[in-house]
């Protein structure tokens, strides 16, 4: 079907793609790392979750409640 062509790899790369079990990102802090804020597991919805993560992390830094934070917590 396709002609055989000899190719030389100039720049190899890999893109890792994974999702959480429920498809939602993990956003927030962990008990073992209380001074760190995480935004993990974006999968195919990276742009949407990045915007949500920015708002949640902003509110956590400003010590304001964010109703969406409970949806993305690590212990859900």
20: in domain:
no
| Domain residue limits at 67 | 26-72
pLDDT at 19 over 80: no
Say how many Å lie between the first and final Cα of the chain, rounded.
50
The answer to whether position 3 is within a domain reads no
- How sure is the predictor about 12, in pLDDT bands with cuts at 50, 70 and 90? confident
Instruction: Using a cut of 0.85, tell me whether the model's pTM lies above it.
Output: no
**pLDDT at residue 48 in the model:** 86
| 41 occurs within a structural domain | yes
- Residue 72 is given by DSSP the state G
How many structural domains are present in the chain? Answer: 1
Instruction: Please indicate, yes or no, if residue 10 is contained in any of the structural domains.
Output: no
The answer as to whether 16 is a domain residue is no
CA 74 to chain centre: 12
> For the residues of 52-72, what is the DSSP string, one character each?
HHHHHHHHHHTT---GGGGGG
Task: Please name the residues in contact with 70: beta carbons below 8 A apart, sequence gap of 6 or more.
Answer: 76
Residue 11 located in a structural domain: no
**Percent of the chain residues topping a pLDDT of 70:** 95
């Amino acid at each position: 079907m396709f002609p055989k062509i000899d190719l030389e790899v100039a720049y190899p790369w890999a893109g890792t793609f994974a999702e959480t079990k429920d498809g939602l990102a993990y956003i927030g802090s962990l008990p073992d790392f209380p001074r760190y804020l995480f935004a993990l597991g974006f999968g195919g919805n990276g742009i949407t979750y990045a915007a949500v993560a920015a708002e949640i992390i902003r509110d956590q830094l400003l010590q304001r409640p964010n109703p969406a934070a409970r949806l993305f917590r690590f212990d859900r």
